[in-house]
């Protein structure tokens, strides 16, 4: 199974954001948590199909977050987020990795996730 969609989320953990890098970190952690909550409910191919609309909505949220981080990159701001948000993001990324590994056993999961989540950031 490809895990490119996980790698696309990683830069959001270290970028600036909505009004500040701290705001972006909070929004990103919340969005990745929501993604994990949806993926936690996927147990088989049918539940994977049922989750697709929610995954697409999360994809749109992540795309908006990525757009909002661009202005901070151009201003030269680095990843100035508190250790609290860095830990929360690390926790969610660990959870996301575990979900990805678990979902590898579900037929069609790789393709669905690559199609819905993998397209973030304008391609690979």
Q: Distance from CA of residue 36 to its chain's centroid? A: 9
Question: Where in the chain are the domains?
Answer: 32-64+88-103
Nearest to 93 by CA among 18, 13, 25, 39: 13
Q: What is the pLDDT of residue 47?
A: 95
Q: What is the pLDDT of residue 73?
A: 64
d(CA 90, CA 96): 10
Q: What is the pLDDT of residue 1?
A: 42
pTM of the model: 0.75
Q: What is the mean pLDDT of each run of 10 residues along the chain (124 residues)?
A: 44 53 85 95 93 92 82 59 87 92 88 69 41
């Amino acid at each position: 199974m490809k895990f490119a969609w996980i790698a696309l989320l990683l830069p959001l953990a270290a970028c600036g954001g909505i009004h500040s890098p701290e705001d972006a970190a909070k929004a990103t952690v919340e969005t990745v948590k929501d993604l994990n909550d949806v993926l936690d409910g996927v147990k088989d191919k049918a539940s994977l199909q049922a989750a697709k609309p929610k995954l697409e909505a999360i994809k749109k949220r992540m795309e908006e977050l990525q757009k909002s981080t661009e202005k901070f990159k151009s201003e030269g701001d680095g990843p100035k987020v508190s250790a609290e948000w860095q830990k929360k993001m690390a926790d969610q990324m660990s959870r996301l990795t575990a979900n990805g590994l678990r979902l590898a056993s579900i037929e069609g999961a790789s393709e669905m996730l690559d199609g819905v989540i993998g397209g973030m950031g304008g391609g690979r």
